[in-house]
Structure 1
């Protein structure tokens, strides 16, 4: 038999968490507002979306998916696109720091002859 394409475990997991999302029936407009408009209106819209996310049973899954997919816009997992970019940058800095730390430990570890 040839290669049979199967959905990955992540793809199956994605479908499960989306079914439980609090925003499932609300539509995208609340979470993907236009950039144009009054700042106060944008803040209110973002706050309303963040409230939905705060009560969502799959908020972490949604945020993880948004970070892994590099979602460029909208409120996902309770964070704005800007907040997700900052979080991603912080995670990358922590990862780089941990890598440097492991390299330093390996370089200073004395191995028996």
Structure 2
């Protein structure tokens, strides 16, 4: 679960970026998997979500939020759940 103490303080300037997201107004199922989704179906959904993120004007802010808040679910800032785990917990080589 994301922990709220890592989130920025509730100042409008810190959250206005969400109003400019390419995902705004889209069905959340583009970015969050339904129960039981697996395999190619899941991979295809994640790929489509990342394509939406590619041209998003607030990609960096969204990604920063997801990594800071340790969002566990969904595609945020062009990163899937697995991408964020890799970014925050890289394996020792």
Larger radius of gyration: 1
The structure with higher relative contact order (CA 8 Å, sep 6+) is 2
Unpaired runs of 5+ residues, structure 1, are 1-6, 94-113
Q: Which runs of 4+ in 1 moved over 2 A?
A: 10-15
Paired residue for 2:76?
A: 76
The two structures have a TM-score, normalised by structure 2, of: 0.79
Unpaired runs of 5+ residues, structure 2, are 1-7
Give distance in 1, aligned partners of 2:11 and 2:83: 25
CA RMSD, Structure 1 to Structure 2 (Å): 2.1
The two structures have a TM-score, normalised by structure 1, of: 0.66
Larger helix percent: 1
Q: Name the count of aligned residue pairs.
A: 84
